[in-house]
Structure 1
Amino acid sequence: MAGSAGYRELLRTTGVGRIIAAQLTARFPNGMVSLGVLLHVEQTTGSYGAAGLVLAAASVGQAVSGPVTSRWMGRWGMRPVLTLTMLVCAASLIGLALAPPLLGLLMVLGALAGLATPPVQSAVRTIYPKLVSARQLTPLFSLDASLQEIIWILAPVLITFISTQIGTVTGLLTIVVILVGGGAWFILSPEVGRVRIPPSRRAFGKVLARPAVLLATVTGFLLIGACAAVEAGVVATFSHGGLEAGLVLAVFSIGSLVGGLASGRIPIGRWAMARRFAIVTVGLALTMISLNVWWIGGTLFLAGIGIAPALAVMFAMTTASVKFSDTAEAFGWVGTGQLIGAAAGSAVAGFLIDGVGPTGAYWAGVAFAAVGLIVSAVFVRGFPDLRHRDPSPIPDTEPVGTIAG
């Protein structure tokens, strides 16, 4: 178990605290965009269906662009790619805020905003192995996976308050301000300028041939699919209960934060992912007993304990299984898997909520998590054993086949 002293030592390492704070700020809009766009498009067009189509266009754009823009960072450098995508994304969101309520135009702007989402996650997780010692890398991935929950706790509350109390245009423009301010802070960080990603010599998409990268992408799809389904279920359960939905989802994220911080120094073996999925599956299965707010809050706190640790395993196994020049693209694919999982989980849950009520969404969440547990157990040999070595990338001078995926 990682104690606070271990994290203090980690944060005292030159540049670590700064780059964590900068990347969290740069990624903060990720927790605001969906709600901000949903509220704005629904208000301007009077249609939730139209809002859903614009969000779908943005999600497709983001899923398509992740591996591509991440790979570009090896060709043209991190700063140019991050700057270009940030500016195009900001311009697209400004366009969404000010454009007339024409569905086709709004969908194009939404797709463009998604395509231009800055690949901050891929960049920072490529930088991490160059910032800390080998023994600190796994705790750093755990800390990163834990602290990102702050985004999902605070960002939806902030954008909902601004959009409903001040206006949806102000909400979208607030996202732009944070996107540009946080993005500039991250881009101008010395660590971003010092780390150079060598251009990948492999064909685009070939990194998915690595078993660990493919498994990280698939398990990420299933884990985030489970979370998205449950989030839809919580909103449907407590939609008429005032603050309950927001508080229950915050407790879900707090459970993940606690789990991630507690697991930072637990060695990552081949069964690590299966154990973490087991916690999530059991917690979500227990939600089926009662839809009482206290029971749901408690069971989701339990399920949340496995989420950040599972994400940390995905980050570590990805880094440990590819050459440094391929890490950014690999993380782009993992991110795309998670985006598709979020869309799939929400869609399946929505269909089941309409058909059988909120309970159906929890069943969907359990199903996604259970499949993740089965995949993690059946393909356990595909997960790298990192108990006796650090998850540093394979040097580009070393044949990629020397480390089992």
Structure 2
Amino acid sequence: MDLGAYRPVLADRDTRSALLLGFLIRVPMWAGGVILTLHVVTTLGRSYGEAGLVTAAATLAVAVSGPWRGRLLDRIGLRRTVGPSLVVQAVCWSVAPWVGYAPLIAVAALAGLFVVPTFSILRQVIIRSVPLEQRRTALSLDSSATELSFMAGPAIGVWLATSWHTGWALLVCELASVAAGFVLWLVNPPLTAGPGALAGATDGDVEGAGDDTDGVPADRTGGAPARAPRAFRGFITVPVAAVYLAAACSTLVLSGTDVSIVAALRSFGDTGAIGWVLALWGAGSLVGGLLYGAWHRSFSVFWLLAGLAATTVPVALAVGVPSFAVLVTISGFLCAPTITATVEQLSRQVPERFRGEMMGWHGSAMTAGSAIGAPVAGFAIDHGGWSRGFVVVGGLGLVVAVGGLLASGTSRRAGRRPAVPAAAGAAGAVGTVGADSESGRPAASMEH
């Protein structure tokens, strides 16, 4: 482990700017979510369940918009994608604080559909700005900055909502997000390496990477390249889909843990501890992310997911607030590393020309996992107490992680099979379309 690995990453101006801008954008984003819930409950006089419907409508819209907005980033660039979003966001959030409950659902959904894809944009900037060998470190810094913003945003949101009228608090917070998006539009950082890079090549091809962390190893037999995985849509091959599944499962575990923490502390009769216990959980993730970024190698996302799930299950053994706080902090150590690994692994497997859409699908996968994790944990808690929530979401994470590791082992064994001689396999090669997931070279002469 070398903490000095962060020095050259932070020395890059584009990376520094992306990290700072990401923090400034995400703080009002997290705060806005809390204020929206409090606005529905206190100002509109609705229940928490009805507040959840507003959040669910916006979340579903964000999940639907992710791949679409990412595809626009790939095709028409940052400014032409973000510009219309800023207009729609400004109009929606100028109206939302002053309408009734039913119109608020529609306005929140429309705002979610045109949300500025800041996570996608900033991570693309970071990936483009640093060499391949520094990517894990840079993405770990981004995950750590996200944890800091998550720790600060909700606290600021609660303070604004209790100090001001929730309508004005919502307006100020969301317009601050629009202003941060405008700064992003104004700066207009490049998202790709530009025409000098190999068109359509994966980073493994450009940088000469050939490790096994992506689950599909480079061919080391000296023969012809291994047959490329079949793509379901453009760049989405079986290994890529597996990483998306891991991303969804990681947020399933995290959102289920979030709900279970609240249920546990209510059961212990200490709801006042919810805030600082959640902060400890985030701090554990922050420390874990920084340590992972300084580590000397990457790990498969499925190993990290297995660790995340395996440290989540024992939280169910807590017998009081002190032991619970310790176990929750430990369970947080692999949160940021797991998310970082999903982004890093995808960036190695997916050609640069699809990077915006890749990040869009990644965001949608994580959103879907969050949407599933909370009700799954809630159902388990209703039928077996707070401890059952940790056991169920952790168990689901372990099942997916073990399945991914077994599938990766099968892929590696298949990749080591002797290659078919060129003359014998020529007829079959003509119909093979795609790119080798490790090198990015065409698997055959036939092109789209």
Tell me, what secondary structure is at the counterpart of 1:309? helix
Kept in 2: contact 1:232–1:349 (CA 8 A): yes
2:263 alignment partner in structure 1: 236
Kept in 2: contact 1:210–1:321 (CA 8 A): no
CA offset digits 1:152-178 (Å, max 9, x no partner)? 211111112211232321331232232
1:401 alignment partner in structure 2: 436
Tell me, what secondary structure is at the counterpart of 1:294? helix
1:310 to 338, 346, 351: 338
2:378 to 341, 350, 358: 350
Tell me, what secondary structure is at the counterpart of 1:148? helix
CA offset digits 1:183-217 (Å, max 9, x no partner)? 122222252488669999xxx97146323321221
What is the 5 A alignment of 1:135-174?
A: 135-174=133-172
Aligned length: 384
Kept in 2: contact 1:23–1:186 (CA 8 A): no
Residues 1:328 and 1:291: Cα distance change in structure 2 (over 3 Å): farther
Q: Supply the distance in 1 between the matched residues of 2:2 and 2:315 (Cα, whole angstroms).
A: 29
CA offset digits 1:13-55 (Å, max 9, x no partner)? 1321112111222233332333222111122042223212111
What is the 5 A alignment of 1:214-293?
A: 214-239=241-266, 241-264=270-293, 265-269=295-299, 272-293=300-321
2:59 alignment partner in structure 1: 59
Residues 1:195 and 1:92: Cα distance change in structure 2 (over 3 Å): farther
Tell me, what secondary structure is at the counterpart of 2:350? coil
Kept in 2: contact 1:256–1:308 (CA 8 A): yes
What is the 5 A alignment of 1:2-401?
A: 2-3=2-3, 5-43=4-42, 44-99=44-99, 101-103=100-102, 105-189=103-187, 191-192=189-190, 206-207=233-234, 209-239=236-266, 241-264=270-293, 265-269=295-299, 272-381=300-409, 400-401=435-436
Tell me, what secondary structure is at the counterpart of 1:400? coil
Q: Supply the distance in 2 between the matched residues of 1:196 and 1:121 (Cα, whole angstroms).
A: 20
Which letter maps to 2:184? F
TM-score in terms of structure 2 length? 0.79
Tell me, what secondary structure is at the counterpart of 1:243? helix
Q: Supply the distance in 2 between the matched residues of 1:194 and 1:365 (Cα, whole angstroms).
A: 37
CA offset digits 1:327-349 (Å, max 9, x no partner)? 11011111101101111111112
Q: Supply the distance in 1 between the matched residues of 2:437 and 2:308 (Cα, whole angstroms).
A: 33
Seq. identity, %: 24
Q: Unpaired segments of 5 or more residues in structure 1?
A: 385-398
Kept in 2: contact 1:233–1:361 (CA 8 A): yes
2:213 alignment partner in structure 1: none
Higher alpha-carbon deviation: 24-33 or 156-165:
24-33
Shift of 1:134: 2.6
Shift of 1:284: 1.1
Kept in 2: contact 1:350–1:361 (CA 8 A): yes
Kept in 2: contact 1:94–1:172 (CA 8 A): no
1:388 alignment partner in structure 2: none
1:389 alignment partner in structure 2: none
Kept in 1: contact 2:14–2:126 (CA 8 A): no
Kept in 1: contact 2:85–2:116 (CA 8 A): yes
Q: Supply the distance in 2 between the matched residues of 1:155 and 1:365 (Cα, whole angstroms).
A: 26
Shift of 1:383: 8.8
Q: Unpaired segments of 5 or more residues in structure 2?
A: 201-230, 413-433, 441-448
CA offset digits 1:209-265 (Å, max 9, x no partner)? 323321221111111111111111112222463531111111111111111111113
- CA RMSD in angstroms comes to 2.7
CA offset digits 1:298-352 (Å, max 9, x no partner)? 1122111111111111111111111111011011111101101111111112223
Residues 1:339 and 1:117: Cα distance change in structure 2 (over 3 Å): same
Which letter maps to 2:270? G
Q: Supply the distance in 2 between the matched residues of 1:318 and 1:51 (Cα, whole angstroms).
A: 34
Which letter maps to 1:401? D
Residues 1:180 and 1:355: Cα distance change in structure 2 (over 3 Å): same
Q: Supply the distance in 2 between the matched residues of 1:382 and 1:24 (Cα, whole angstroms).
A: 40
Tell me, what secondary structure is at the counterpart of 2:116? coil
Q: Supply the distance in 2 between the matched residues of 1:126 and 1:381 (Cα, whole angstroms).
A: 30
Shift of 1:404: 6.5
Tell me, what secondary structure is at the counterpart of 1:401? coil
Higher Cα Rg, which structure: 2
Residues 1:111 and 1:2: Cα distance change in structure 2 (over 3 Å): farther
Shift of 1:77: 1.2
Residues 1:229 and 1:119: Cα distance change in structure 2 (over 3 Å): same
Tell me, what secondary structure is at the counterpart of 1:206? coil
Higher alpha-carbon deviation: 278-287 or 147-156:
278-287
2:425 alignment partner in structure 1: none
Residues 1:195 and 1:95: Cα distance change in structure 2 (over 3 Å): farther
Shift of 1:140: 0.8
Q: Supply the distance in 1 between the matched residues of 2:116 and 2:15 (Cα, whole angstroms).
A: 20
